[in-house]
Structure 1
Amino acid sequence: MRAITRPASATLPLSETLTAGLNAYPVASFPLRRRRRLFFRSLGWCVVPAFLSIRLHRLHCFKKEQMKVIEPVELFQKLCSSGAVQKGRLLGLDVGQRYVGLAVSDVANRIASPGSVLVRKKTNIDIMAKVFQKLVSQHSLVGFVVGYPFCLWGQSSVEAVQVRLFMEDLRNTGRLNGLTYTYWDENYTSKCVEALLEPLDLNPVKSKTIKDKFAAVGILQGYLDNMNRKLKSGNLARE
């Protein structure tokens, strides 16, 4: 099966090209596949393998719409300028070495609520991307707020590197093209959640999943509070 692409301009009118294409070759002596190829070539068409044309098209779209990282203020400005504050939502991510906690904002982008916890493995990044695709459709997500352990001394920690690697792997799947994400300081969010859960004496596994999802809530809520405060004071538009 082959895909056929048409050039921008033809050297002959269609009627003359048809006549030339039919009379220029002893078509009866050629195999059917070759006759088809010669006929389309006489029309000025370029015959390209279908699988190659599809891959080139996907590569072009992938480069054009690839998921990208932007500044925190820029993400919220995008929501405001598009009028999507009342209908688009944000997803908060707490990325760990083994689990990824999720939190989602409300339709007004003011309150963060806990979501689920995903198991993170090197071999299941495509499965995780499919889960994110489903969440984007269910909650009308327009962007991600990813927790990032910013260092006061300007050094990159192991945790920071693995967060960036996870987002790079997620972006390279090509399943979240068109979306944007930003990094937000996650320092002390997990510690705060641990302090709240300690008196409850929960099962270690249950405590871990709760900590991850509520750490994501802390990340997303901190971002929403900061951006809405800037929006109310008028500082958001000036930045």
Structure 2
Amino acid sequence: MKLVKPLNLFNELLKKNPSKRGRFLGLCINEQHVDLAVSDPDNLYAVPLSVIHRHEGSMDLMADKFQTLISEHNLAGFVIDSPYRTNSTRCDSGAIKNFIFDLLITRKFPGLKYTFWSDQIATKHMDFVVEHNVKFILEDLNLSQLDPKEIVDKFAAARLLQGYLDCVHTSVELDKKADFHK
């Protein structure tokens, strides 16, 4: 695995043939679990995928799960919650650093690239989506016994990945406009 800058990860993907581009996996890591989200095939939208409980086994077993996800979803890279920010309530910086280190020493992902992103750089659109999905889950599906905070936490990786996708797409569009006006 190799750490790259956020925009470089996306630009490398754009250089590939569109039929071979792949998708991104968003990871929000804490001591108890890893929330996962995956981008759609066009890398426009993030969708919550699952939660892996960290006590389920060794890092080798978790790495095997990631290898399965890589092949199932044609993953091109990981977007991981940044351990270099402050005031996060969802993800612990020590847990993130330890998780990445443990994942690196498995040596199971030699060609895979990853980047860090902060869920604090999220969009208003994602806040709207999360709020309305939670409302739908609680009210329309008659699941009022669920805790709204727990549900919102399940969207942590999707929020992280959606913020990344929105930002890199905006950056690419701005670059295209700047090139056009030259």
Query: Would the TM-score normalized by the shorter structure come out above 0.5?
Result: yes
* Amino-acid identity (%): 36
Q: 1:214 aligns with which of 149, 155, 164?
A: 155
In 2, Cα distance between the equivalents of 1:97 and 1:113? 22
**Which residue of structure 1 lines up, in the alignment, with residue 169 of structure 2?**
228
Deviation at residue 236 of structure 1 after TM alignment: 10
Which protein, 1 or 2, shows the higher relative CO under an 8 Å CA cutoff with sep ≥ 6? 2
CA shift digits 1:118-165 (9 cap, x unpaired) = 001395211111010000001110100001254369xxxx92122011
Question: What TM-score, normalized by structure 1, do the two folds share?
Answer: 0.59
Helix, strand or coil at the partner of 1:234: helix
Alignment of 1:146-165 (within 5 A): 146-151=80-85, 159-165=92-98
Helix, strand or coil at the partner of 1:114: strand
**Which residue of structure 2 lines up, in the alignment, with residue 203 of structure 1?**
146
Question: What TM-score, normalized by structure 2, do the two folds share?
Answer: 0.76
Deviation at residue 237 of structure 1 after TM alignment: 9.9
CA shift digits 1:72-103 (9 cap, x unpaired) = 01101110122358641000011111011100
Cα pair distance change 1:92/1:72, threshold 3 Å? same
* Aligned residue pair count: 163
Q: Is contact 1:89–1:140 with CA below 8 Å preserved after alignment?
A: yes
Helix, strand or coil at the partner of 2:24: strand
Return structure 1 stretches of 4+ with deviation > 6 angstroms.
235-238
Q: Is contact 2:84–2:93 with CA below 8 Å preserved after alignment?
A: yes
Q: Is contact 2:83–2:94 with CA below 8 Å preserved after alignment?
A: no
Q: Is contact 2:85–2:118 with CA below 8 Å preserved after alignment?
A: no
Structure 2, unpaired ranges of 5+:
139-143
Alignment of 1:1-239 (within 5 A): 67-84=1-18, 87-121=21-55, 123-151=57-85, 159-187=92-120, 196=131, 197=134, 200=138, 201-203=144-146, 208=150, 210-234=151-175
RMSD: 3.2
In 2, Cα distance between the equivalents of 1:236 and 1:97? 43
